[in-house]
């Protein structure tokens, strides 16, 4: 698992990701607004669990950075957009990788869930 994370993380160009700026931040916000509430409600209301598992996995996957290149390879009409889209997704991955543990920790404390060490 460590090697897989290293492999995905090594492919992210942080400088290009930071150049994406507002678009990458917006992408991360849209991800949280659209995806997290749905899976959180399923876990808490349907599965009757705490919702912490949902929060723990609520991060954009590093592998998603490769999707624009794959799409551009299969459809050359998208080649001009692939670089910008890759940078935006990379920034979203970085942002959600930092914010997700913080959100999870705060909700865990609010719900009074003990740490499992």
Max Cα distance, the chain (Å) = 52
Q: Which domain holds residue 75?
A: 13-111
In a domain, 73, yes or no: yes
In a domain, 2, yes or no: no
Model confidence at 104: pLDDT above 80: yes
Residue with structure tokens 């607004």? 33
Token pair of 39, please?
A: 């899976």
Number of domains in the chain: 1
In a domain, 72, yes or no: yes
DSSP 57: T
In a domain, 6, yes or no: no
Please list, in sequence order, all residues whose beta carbon lies within 8 angstroms of the beta carbon of residue 51, skipping any fewer than 6 positions away.
40, 43, 44, 107, 111
Residue pLDDT, tens place only, 7-19? 555 656 677 777 7
In a domain, 98, yes or no: yes
In a domain, 93, yes or no: yes
In a domain, 45, yes or no: yes
- CA dist 88 and 90 (Å) reads 5
Output the pLDDT for position 12: 63
pLDDT band, residue 4 (cuts 50/70/90): very low
Residue pLDDT, tens place only, 46-93? 999 988 998 888 888 777 888 888 999 999 999 999 888 888 888 888
Residue pLDDT, tens place only, 34-59? 999 999 999 999 999 988 998 888 88
Query: Could you tell me the pTM of the whole model?
Result: 0.77
Residue 10's nearest CA partner among 66, 88, 74 is 66
Please list, in sequence order, all residues whose beta carbon lies within 8 angstroms of the beta carbon of residue 114, skipping any fewer than 6 positions away.
none
């Amino acid at each position: 698992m460590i090697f897989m994370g290293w492999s995905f993380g090594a492919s992210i160009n942080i400088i290009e990701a930071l150049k994406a700026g507002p678009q990458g931040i917006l992408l991360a916000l849209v991800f949280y607004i659209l995806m997290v509430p749905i899976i959180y409600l399923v876990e808490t209301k349907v599965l009757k669990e705490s919702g912490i598992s949902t929060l723990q996995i609520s991060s954009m996957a590093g592998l998603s950075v490769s999707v624009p290149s794959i799409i551009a390879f299969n459809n050359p009409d998208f080649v001009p957009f692939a670089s910008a889209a890759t940078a935006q997704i990379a920034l979203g991955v970085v942002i959600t990788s930092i914010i997700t543990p913080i959100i999870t920790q705060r909700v865990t404390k609010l719900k009074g869930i003990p740490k499992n060490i």
